[in-house]
Amino acid sequence: MRFLERERATVAQLLPGLDESLRKVPLMELEDPSGPGIELFRDSGGPGLLAPTAYQGRGATALDALRVQRALGSRAPSLAVATTLHHFSTATLAALIPNKGMLSMLVEGVASDNRLVAFGFAEDRPGAGVLSPSMTATEEDEGVRISGMTRLRSLARSMDLLMAGVMVPREDGPGEEPALALVPADSEGMSVSGAEAESKRVTLDNVELAPELLVRTSALDGQLDALLTAGFAWYQLLMTGSHLGAASALVERALLDNRVPESERVQLLVETEGAMSAAEGVARRIDDGGADESTLADSLYVRYHVQDTLSRVVPRAVELLGDLDSTASDEVSHLATFTNGLALQPPARSRMTGPLAAYLVNGPLTIA
């Protein structure tokens, strides 16, 4: 099977027409903040990729989703990264369906109406883990009001729904408990600010939220944190695939360039496909038994391994491609720079050194 053929065939099966549509648009136009990538993704049914078929979704497996993200990354890297958090959020919502009836309607709406879900991290708060609640809530007779700030890495302008962590008053006594808030993007009191197109600060100022759009830890027998932590394996897997796709776009160019010696082409192929095989192993673990703590650990090992692989493959591919015309040179430079972004995704390897060391001696795995 030819390079990237399996991945692009998966896109053709699950999201018909998307690969062809992306291929027709120049790379730098797709990468422009005003480019057509998000709308092409919506038009193909992309938001429903991980929604179960029972809720009008595409019912993709983790292996399918990984291959889709690599294929998207090879055509439109920014689109692949932007949609990764949507898929993580959708997978989390789908896992919550048995516990809260309203969520089934939300997941079905995401799939049938091609809505995009953004997830707010808390990584810019000193001392907070990336999955820590970043907002607070006060109770009222008809629901809760939420205030606080979160920073979105993608989909700030395109989202239809925001998923964010919030601390809420307990229903069974004094004190607070973590919860997931599902906030419609058009809610009164919600604002988006910042310079970048899709990565911005989102502020909620006394936003009213219906009780059914709040998922409390107590409603999940205290397992909300475990669910999010385990589900973070999806994020690691799909973000790895997205950046591997951008690197694969460079490798593909080198493989098709007859000026590049065969030995060099084969070496690039071996390293890139080896990295993909490692990621596919994590995907199969998720498909076989769900994203538990050990799967999350494996997803981190593989993600950091892929980072190291790309640090070798990408500079070599750029060097081998040599002199190019200005358009091709701009594209190669963009792809090469983009692949470095995997090292910037949470959690950073330096912050995970202690947690992973503790996990290796039978401690719990925490996300720093």
Query: Which range is most confident: 195-209, 219-233, 302-316?
Result: 302-316
Rounded Cα–Cα distance for residues 79 and 85 (Å): 11
Q: Which residues pair with 145 in a beta bridge?
A: 138, 208
In the chain, the amino acid numbered 168 is: V
pLDDT-wise least confident of 103-117, 189-203, 256-270, 277-291: 189-203
Query: Which range is most confident: 40-49, 88-97, 143-152, 227-236?
Result: 40-49
Local structure of 121: helix, strand or coil: strand
CB 74 within 8 A of CB 22: no
Q: Which residues pair with 166 in a beta bridge?
A: 135, 179
Confidence tier at 307 by pLDDT (50, 70, 90):
very high
Instruction: Identify the DSSP state of 206.
Output: E
Structure tokens at 293: 């703590």
Q: What is the mean pLDDT of residues 97-117?
A: 83
Q: What is the CA radius of gyration of the chain?
A: 21
Total residues found in the chain within this entry: 368
For residue 185, pLDDT over 80 is answered with: yes
Share of the chain above pLDDT 70, in %: 91
Beta-carbon contacts of residue 23 (< 8 Å; ≥ 6 apart): 75
Rounded Cα–Cα distance for residues 190 and 281 (Å): 40
Q: Which one, of 228, 184, 233, 236, lies nearest residue 209 by Cα?
A: 184
